[in-house]
Amino acid sequence: MKALRFSRKHLGIPYAIFLLLFVVFPLVLIIVYAFTKVDPNGVLELAGVKVSFTFDNFIEFFSKESNIRVLFISFGLALLTTVICLIIAYPLASILAKSKLNKNGVLLLLFILPMWINFVLRTAAMKELLFAIGMYNSNKLSFVNTVIGMVYDYLPFVIMPLYTVMIKLDKSLLEASADLGGAPINTFFRIKLPLTMPGIVSAVTMVLLPTTTSYVVSDTLGNGNVTIIGKVIESQFSTMFDWHAGSAIAMVLLVLIFITMFFTNKFADDDTQPRGSGLW
């Protein structure tokens, strides 16, 4: 018999098993539930219940004006949160990348330290802070409080990828622009911004997509006045026990996420092109 040999490719077996059990299988299950409904005359049996294939779950979702409104609110909230995080994080990451005191990553550690704290605890702490300054009790500020909580929770996830790109940025390109008489604003838009675009795309992906489903923040800080699509999905599974409708909504969100990722990747850096060429 041939002796068994262990190679590096075998290290991927546990990861492949993990993907099959906790990613592929749940996704297939959601797809099956999304395109089926309970039917006593159905030819397919799912979890001991007869079902039949249908598109009614999707038709029902898009036929309700409340669902469309929640969907727009969710993406509007996510987009606003992402823009605010970028406005705050971009100059902050630039300062951290240039700082001489950041050789050991001490300053960066202070900013990403909240990532180590439980998400729910951070949201609860923000709730207490808003309550102390009198913002939490105002229903008119429910949306504002939700945005503040989203920005607070996801800001470190924007700083990190931006800092990672900026710390590796070739400073000689910026110096060359200044030597050639380039104005600071032109240097930023023609050199720095394009070169840091991969970090921006990564940051947008890490914030825009999760915030559409972070109903913990909207429930805790929105005082029950802000409903996002993640809450609708959660209620379908845990309150109404309608896995078919919940899976259909999850499929809609999944398709929208793929579309968003497709367009954001259009702005990603192309590694096949020399970085910094054709600046002017």
pLDDT value at position 6? 66
Q: Looking at the predicted structure, is the pLDDT value of residue 278 above 70?
A: no
Secondary structure E strands in the chain: 36-38, 44-46, 49-53
pLDDT of 274 > 70? The answer is no
Q: How many CB atoms lie under 10 A from the CB of residue 146?
A: 26
Length of the chain: 280
pLDDT computed for residue 8 by the predictor: 76
Q: Does 172 reside within a domain? A: yes
Q: Are residues 47 and 95 in the same domain?
A: no
CATH of the domain at 233: 1.10.3720.10
Containing structural domain, residue 36? 13-54
Q: Which of 29, 54, 79 finishes a domain?
A: 54
User: Which residues lie across from 38 on neighbouring strands?
Assistant: 51
- 104 and 190 assigned to the same domain: yes
Could you read off the pLDDT of 195-253 as tens digits, one per residue? 999 999 999 988 988 898 888 899 999 988 899 999 999 999 888 889 999 999 999 98
Query: Looking at the predicted structure, is the pLDDT value of residue 280 above 60?
Result: no
Residue 70 confidence (pLDDT) above 90? yes
pTM: 0.82
Q: What is the pLDDT of residues 13-35, one digit of tens each?
A: 888 999 999 989 999 999 999 99
